Amino acid sequence: MSDKQEMIDGLKQIVKPYIQDDEAFKNLNEDTDFINDLKINSANLVDVILDIEDKYDIELDNESMDKMLNVKAALEVINAKVSEK
């Protein structure tokens, strides 16, 4: 299993409590959009961000949050923050 797939699986565990669309969740991939596909509300998106911070021991700012609209963008932001450490 690649690192990327591991990260996607990790993200999948984080979003699980907040999703509304089971089908989109089952088929979660890089292109999955948190709000439009998974139907996560904006308040729970904050919880997703906080859980990501805890898991990777990083701190995300407003700019990062605005970028993290889908799985691919989230992975990019996480990788960038982790490499800054």
Partner 1 sequence: MAFEEIIAKLPYQHPFLFVDELLAIDEKGISGTYTYDAKHNFYQGHFKDNPVTPGVILTETAAQIGVVSFGIYLLSKSGNPINEIKIALTSSEMDFFIPVYPSEKVIVKSEKEYFRFNKLKCNVQMFNEKGELVCRGKIAGMMEI
CB-wise, 59 or 84, nearer to partner 1? Answer: 59
Q: Is there binding between residue 43 and partner 1 (CB under 8 A)?
A: yes
Contact 11, 74 (CB under 8 A): yes
Q: Which two tokens stand for residue 29?
A: 């991939």
d(CA 4, CA 63): 23
CB-wise, 6 or 15, nearer to partner 1? Answer: 15
Q: Whole-number minimum distance, CB 29 to partner 1, in Å? A: 25
* Helix H or strand E segment including 40: none
**Contacts to partner 1 by CB under 8 A:** 41-44, 46, 49-50, 62, 65
